[in-house]
Amino acid sequence: MNGIVNFIKNWALIIALLIGCLGSKFFVQYADKTVYLIFVMLLFTFCRIDPSQIRFRKVHAVFLLIQLGGAAGMYYALTALGSRDLAETAMLCFLTPTAAASAVVTMKLGGDGASNTTYVLLSSLMVAVVVPLWFPLIHEPSQVVPFWQAFWSILKQVLPLLAGPFLLAMLLKYALRKVHDALARWHEVSFYLWAACLIFAAAQMMDAIDQSHAGAMTMVSLALASLIICALQFFLGKRLGRHYGDSISGGQSLGQKNIILGIWIAGMFLVPEHGETPLAIMGLGTYIIWQNIINSWQLYRKWVKDLGEKAHHTELVP
């Protein structure tokens, strides 16, 4: 029985993706409700974070440069090679801001949740400024969206999900300390709420694929591109994060993306002249799979490591 429970705990993210893919027609109807799950999930997480630790750090500046430089470099290089759909996919896989829920996985892996939360806000602000300024230069239809409208549209999807649960957590800390401490102790719930969110994200991805008229080879090339970029960002994030003192937070900050927001950006700014679904949405959809396979593998490795340390400690105790 314990083996089954441990299997579900370690591979919950993959199991959630499979459920979402298999039951997409049912779950996609309720995908817009995930905002409530994310709010509650982050409330549990923020009850464990010391607000004094949320501050700008040198590693955040490095990550912002990689996020923006990688997006621009990939876009112009692949466009020069004549692969516009691939270029837009690669660009958004780099540019899409860090997922608010990445703090959940960061803390479950033993990383710095405060540093990760800070970068979520910084990367979202950067994207809110860059997208309405840059996209009109590279995609004609996006000129119909005024800068301030685009800026606010992006921010209002991110800020409430960060500010709301954070402010509520701080209010509970000073007004209802027992409730705050109880939520901090029950932080494990946030991980399973995130897994539930993935069910709906996978359902949205399958729905987008069903509506797409792209050929099999196009889909495969977009999926491979998102896999390479996902692995690269986790690798760079962990290497640079280790240099600055926290490889776990670094990997999650650079690698785990707010794909739902990325899909919205593609649908708002990258719609072709004839109104078809942007193929970049397909690539972003597969990024959900890759980032959660990587996260599941990391969680499994941590579980094995913890078991080993526990066994070693037991042997040392007379």
Give pLDDT, residue 273. 60
Q: How far apart are CA 281 and CA 51, in angstroms?
A: 35
Half-sphere exposure at residue 88, Cβ-oriented, CA atoms within 13 angstroms: 21
Q: pTM of the entire structure?
A: 0.79
68, pLDDT greater than 90: yes
> Rounded to whole angstroms, how far apart are CA atoms 48 and 57?
20
Per-residue model confidence (pLDDT) at position 49: 75
Whether the predicted pLDDT of 263 surpasses 90: no
31 contacts 204 by C-beta, under 8 angstroms: yes
Q: Is the pLDDT of residue 290 over 70?
A: yes
Give the three-class secondary structure for 98.
Answer: strand
What range does the domain containing 295 cover?
Answer: 29-306
* CATH number of the domain encompassing residue 191: 1.20.1530.20
| In-domain check, residue 170 | yes
For 277, how many CA atoms within 13 A lie in the half-sphere containing its CB?
17
288 in a domain, yes or no?
Answer: yes
Please indicate, yes or no, if residue 212 is contained in any of the structural domains.
yes
**Residue 294 belongs to some domain of the structure:** yes
* pLDDT at position 34: 78
Give domain status of residue 317, yes or no. no
Would you say 14 and 296 are in contact if contact means Cβ atoms under 8 Å apart?
yes
| Look-up of token digits 């003192």 | 245
Residue 21 resides in a domain: no
Domain count, the chain: 1
> Mean pLDDT highest for which of 82-96, 212-226, 259-273, 290-304?
82-96
Average pLDDT on 21-34 reads 82
Query: 19 in a domain, yes or no?
Result: no
Cα 316 from Cα 222, distance rounded (Å): 51
- Cβ neighbors of 129 (< 8 A, separation 6 or more) are 151
Residue 143 banded pLDDT, cuts 50, 70, 90: very low
Q: Among 12-21, 182-191, 250-259, which stretch is predicted with the lowest mean pLDDT?
A: 182-191
**Has residue 296 got a pLDDT over 90?**
no
For the cut 60, the answer to whether the pLDDT of residue 314 exceeds it is no
Torsional sign, CA 250, 251, 252, 254:
positive
Report yes or no on 315 lying in a domain. Answer: no
